[in-house]
Amino acid sequence: MTNKFNTLFVTMLGIGKIKIIPGTFGSLATVIILYILFHLLDISSNLILLGLIIIFIYSFYAVRNYILNIEDKDPREIVIDEFIGQSIPIYLYEVSHGTEKSPDEAIIFYLICFMLFRFFDIRKPFPVNYFDRNFKNSFGVIMDDVCAGLYVVLSLICFMVLSNYFI
């Protein structure tokens, strides 16, 4: 029972089993889920944060158990790490500035976050590549995507600072 639950968890209900670009589909599903939670269901950001923290903590256990008896320690079907990494810039956007975000503005921002996250997750600049190469366990699987999510945040902050400086 636990193994089936962990498999559903780490593959995001089977999204990771999609044969082509499962990480991209996992990231896209995350964008859609968070848009629904924030903009259609209007769930409290504190409640969403609590859910994200629980998912983050549980993912270490679930990924560890999933990869325990397989040779590939970062299989493509694990996409819960994409969920975690993609959630970082979107959540921070939603709670930033203390202002209400329009659905149209959010869609554009979510798409930018999606594209930047996929770029950093695929290209793996340092320290993303450090975690990917040096930790062949649940920590490495998850932390490379956390770093990619933080790169998105850093990129957007730099863009905002530079655009205010030059405009």
Please report, for residues 12, 58, 90, the alpha-carbon distance to residue 108 in angstroms, rounded to integers and kept in the order given: 24, 30, 11
Quick one: which of 84, 88, 64 has its CA closest to 2?
Answer: 64
State pTM to two decimals.
0.92
Q: Which residues contact 97 (CB under 8 A, 6 or more apart)?
A: none
- Domain boundary assignment for the chain: 2-166
Give the pLDDT confidence score for residue 60 in this predicted structure: 96
CA angle 107, 167, 87 (to 5 degrees): 30
Confidence of residue 53 (pLDDT cuts 50, 70, 90): very high
Give the pLDDT confidence score for residue 70 in this predicted structure: 84
Going by the DSSP 8-state scheme, the letter that residue 167 receives in this structure is: -
Alpha helices in the chain (DSSP H): 2-10, 22-35, 45-67, 80-95, 103-123, 128-134, 138-166
Condensed to tens digits (0 to 9), the pLDDT of residues 10-32 reads 999 999 999 999 999 999 999 99
Condensed to tens digits (0 to 9), the pLDDT of residues 67-100 reads 988 887 778 999 999 999 999 999 999 998 666 7
Report percent pLDDT > 90 for the chain: 72
